[in-house]
């Protein structure tokens, strides 16, 4: 694929991100590739600025400068697999943005010459149906979390898989994660690490009252229905840790594999197991 234009998105209010975007814009122009920048970057660099949601309409690829949170936000904005995304780590841990700044330019040289692989990553379609019938729909690349507020007691969540009753969780909440999201909140709550190529969805209870309520891996084609049975005032559905929506008694959250997917550029020579070793510091004393 020949890249005629490349979008650049980045973490807002970060001077190092702006400086990197400036240098990257010049590098691309020197190679006759148009740089299309997210609005807060484009305005500061006197380049054509676009809203994050519009970058994919004007770019053949999108480079995300920041951490995993910035990439998650970009993935939801793109919403489909048409435009591949490359994450450059300028944030924290960085499981999704696993390319360092020192690796960026040598890697981009390979990419513009066609030496790269694209991997599709599943999105979760999440529909919140209120007791009064109103609905809100979101997409998640990492996870969907139902969590009690700071002052709420343990909450009861009735879970069904493909319409069949599974159990009623009594816990601080539930995490529904994709394989990509399995190294996030789900992992810290005791969930398994799932390799990105595995076709599944993991349900992880948060501090369950019943110790036999353990994480469960279901098929990616399964649908999950979660109904809140508690009358607590503060229960929130959070999508990718960034978008929150309150729910109430007998509201239901339906979660299923989305029709859309996200295309991620995988650099040559980068192993998922190498990333796990590095990020989780396995083998270190």
Query: Which residues 6+ apart lie within 8 Å of 164 measured at CB?
Result: none
Using CB atoms within 10 A of its CB, is residue 276 exposed (0-12), middle (13-18) or buried (19+)? middle
The whole-angstrom separation of Cα 42 and Cα 48 is: 6
H helix runs in the chain, sequence order? 15-29, 39-44, 68-78, 101-112, 185-188, 272-280
Query: Are the C-beta atoms of 176 and 239 separated by less than 8 Å?
Result: no
Neighbour tally for 77: CB within 10 Å: 17
Query: Which residues 6+ apart lie within 8 Å of 191 measured at CB?
Result: 175, 177, 182, 202, 204, 215
Q: Is 143 assigned a catalytic role?
A: no
Angle subtended at Cα 163 by Cα 246 and Cα 165, rounded to the nearest 5 degrees: 85
Residues 16, 30, 39, 68: which is the catalytic one? 68
Catalytic machinery residues: 68
């Amino acid at each position: 694929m020949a890249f005629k234009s490349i979008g650049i998105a980045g973490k807002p209010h970060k001077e190092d991100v702006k400086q990197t975007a400036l240098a990257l814009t010049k590098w691309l122009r020197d190679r006759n590739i148009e740089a299309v920048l997210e609005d807060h970057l484009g305005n500061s660099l006197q380049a054509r600025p676009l809203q994050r949601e519009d970058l994919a309409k004007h770019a053949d690829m999108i480079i995300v400068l920041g951490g995993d949170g910035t990439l998650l936000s970009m993935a939801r904005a793109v919403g489909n697999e048409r435009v591949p995304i490359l994450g450059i780590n300028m944030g924290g841990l960085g499981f999704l943005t696993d390319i360092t700044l020192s690796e960026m330019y040598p890697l981009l040289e390979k990419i513009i010459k066609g030496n790269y692989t694209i991997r599709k990553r599943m999105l979760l379609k999440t529909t919140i149906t209120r007791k009064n019938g109103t609905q809100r729909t979101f997409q998640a690349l990492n996870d969907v979390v139902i969590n009690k507020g700071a002052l709420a007691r343990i909450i009861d969540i009735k879970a069904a898989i493909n319409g069949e009753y599974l159990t009623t969780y009594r816990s601080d909440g539930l995490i529904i994660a994709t394989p990509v999201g399995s190294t996030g909140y789900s992992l810290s709550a005791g969930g398994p690490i799932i390799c990105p190529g595995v076709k599944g969805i993991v349900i992880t209870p948060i501090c369950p009252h019943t110790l036999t309520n353990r994480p469960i891996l279901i098929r990616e084609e399964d649908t999950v229905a979660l109904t809140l049975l508690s009358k607590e005032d503060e229960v929130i559905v959070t999508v990718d840790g960034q978008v929150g929506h309150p729910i109430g008694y007998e509201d239901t959250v339906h979660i299923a594999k989305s029709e859309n997917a996200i295309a991620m550029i995988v650099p040559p020579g980068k192993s998922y197991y190498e990333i796990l070793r590095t990020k989780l510091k396995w083998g270190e004393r």
